[in-house]
Structure 1
Amino acid sequence: MLKEDVDSLHPGRDFNRRDFVHTAVGSGFAAAVLPVMAQTVIKTDSQGLEVGEVMIAAGDFKLPAYRAQPAGAKNPPVILVISEIFGVHEHIADVARRFAKQGYLAIAPELFVRQGDATSYGETAKLIAEVINKVPDGQVMGDLDATVAWAKAQGGDTSRLAITGFCWGGRITWLYAAHNPGVKAGVAWYGRLVGQSVPLQPRFPIDVTAQLHAPVLGLYGGQDSGIPLDTVDKMKVALAQGSAAAKRSEFHVYAEAPHAFHADYRPSYRKEAAEDGWKRCLTWLKANGAG
């Protein structure tokens, strides 16, 4: 169970489908996160960008994704943007546009779609039980491989491949950096590091440090009730004993920040930590050959 996502939402609030406005990947907000903190939501325009929903062939399946890139760009670096448990809604699309403004071909695939519509659930616990916990890590790795192949076919420079993700997507960032040898750098925002192995999610970041192909920057909150700092310390020990890329990985902990401090549409948002984390993210990607 992703208790950290439950804790960072409005306590005691349940929302149903009529509270949710969603017409396409990257639009609206997930029902479980309503009402949105409108006064802090960042809006990144699409001027000078190519944006919108695309369909990616993942075997016989058509995987929806939100894509943003500079218009007319030649061989842009590629970054995978991995969502929280709430799917690819407006905030994740906005993050993709922020990367596109920095010159990236940014792609946010809807990785839960085979199991259900994560954006339509009004109760986080039900979303986790009925959708998220049924998503196999192997399926996710395969879908991300297909997304990278799609980006290459579209002219993206996958020799400068990066991945970043938030909460659920933060854990996936670590795992994919161990899965794909083509990844140059990763940035994991408050993704769980340790956990109980189950058949569909057999390993956690702490279990794959010996296999990391790319260095990962971990951005975590010191007041995150779902990810205790002692797990960050355990991960640091594992990284020091891991691969060469693992040894180059780093953490930055924002002492006063809670879980989901980057999510500007939620009450957990912390402007100073989010802005500093964004700067660190961009610097990390470029310093490690993914910019």
Structure 2
Amino acid sequence: MTAAPPFTSAVPTVESTVIRTPADGLVHGATTVRTPTGELPIYHASPEGSGPFPIVLVIQEIFGVHEHIRDVVRRFAKAGYLAVAPELYFRLGDPSKAASIDEIRANFVAKAPDALVLSDLDDTLAWATANGGDKARVGVTGFCWGGRITWLYAAHQPKVKAGVAWYGRLAGPGTPNSPRHPVDVAGELKAPVLGLYGGEDTGIPLADVDRLRAALESAGNGSTVVVYPTAPHAFFADYRSSYREADARDGWSRTLDWFSRHGV
């Protein structure tokens, strides 16, 4: 069997900015989680020791759980968390081998029902709590496609204590697989969410960010939004030309602080 590329075939990798987090001092690896409709692959990492550790669910980019997402999992583990990234497209194939983002949108994003994604995250959380995680300290974060799902999961799962959403879609017409978006669930959040967005993100209009901010203020649930004025989409993705080191570092610092302040 041919090995998957370490990152993704859909966009070029900029090796000079790639961050590689070593796994020394960590327990990490790949396994599967049983779901009602199949074995869900996950990548996990945690500090050595028995825990229980606070849990962070790391929700993939549009490209799936490739090496960048696995590295983010290890970064959280270095910070003291049991971090888990589930392969949420696993029933549809391997998105890392897709030739373009448009191919991924058509063959993966459009065919992954939100309800099934949220159910898979519930099963991942159950695995984490049974494998060294603290069910009383649960956070969720996601990037791009996963940024949108982060808001939905915070409105779905009452065990979540805090979320951080990185530049995911916020609004738009509903579809049978994706009937609602973050602006639609802003008043239903069960935990405060920090949203991190780029002022020059051509795929997420600032008008949508403003709509979300207004909805959050109206709901009064403690959630907030930060916009980095000159950042494009995917400014945290250190393997891509969109990477903006200063904004990425600030966002990571805010993420750890947000989780800490909200009991994760």
With the length of structure 2 as denominator, give the TM-score of the two structures. 0.97
Query: Is the 8 Å Cα contact of residues 68 and 237 (structure 2) preserved in structure 1?
Result: yes
Query: Is the 8 Å Cα contact of residues 192 and 223 (structure 2) preserved in structure 1?
Result: yes
CA shift at 1:281, angstroms? Answer: 0.5
CA shift at 1:127, angstroms? Answer: 1.6
Q: Does 1:268 align with 2:242?
A: yes
Partner of 1:30: 8
Query: Is the 8 Å Cα contact of residues 42 and 84 (structure 2) preserved in structure 1?
Result: yes
Q: Does 1:283 align with 2:261?
A: no
- Please give the residue correspondences for 1:1-291 in structure 2 after superposition, counting only pairs within 5 Å: 22=4, 28-34=6-12, 36-242=13-219, 244-245=220-221, 248-290=222-264
CA shift at 1:30, angstroms? Answer: 1.3
Amino acid at match of 1:32: A
Query: Is the 8 Å Cα contact of residues 11 and 100 (structure 2) preserved in structure 1?
Result: no
Amino acid at match of 2:9: A
Structure 2 unaligned residues grouped into runs of 5+: none
CA distance in 2, matches of 1:198, 1:51: 37
Amino acid at match of 2:6: G
CA distance in 1, matches of 2:35, 2:11: 29
CA shift at 1:131, angstroms? Answer: 1.6
CA distance in 2, matches of 1:127, 1:189: 19
CA shift at 1:114, angstroms? Answer: 0.7
Q: Say which SS state the counterpart of residue 55 (structure 2) adopts.
A: strand
CA shift at 1:60, angstroms? Answer: 4.2
CA shift at 1:176, angstroms? Answer: 0.1
Query: Is the 8 Å Cα contact of residues 160 and 190 (structure 2) preserved in structure 1?
Result: yes
CA shift at 1:116, angstroms? Answer: 2.0
CA distance in 1, matches of 2:50, 2:71: 19
Q: List, as ranges, runs of 4+ consecutive aligned residues in structure 1 with deviation greater than 3 Å.
A: none
Q: Say which SS state the counterpart of residue 161 (structure 2) adopts.
A: strand
Query: Is the 8 Å Cα contact of residues 199 and 206 (structure 2) preserved in structure 1?
Result: yes
Residues 72-108 of structure 1, C-alpha deviations (whole Å, 9 max, x = no match)? 1410000000111100010000000000000000000
CA distance in 1, matches of 2:189, 2:164: 13
Structure 1 unaligned residues grouped into runs of 5+: 1-17
Query: Is the 8 Å Cα contact of residues 235 and 248 (structure 2) preserved in structure 1?
Result: yes
CA distance in 2, matches of 1:199, 1:182: 26
Residues 17-50 of structure 1, C-alpha deviations (whole Å, 9 max, x = no match)? x9xx52xxxx71111123x100000010000001
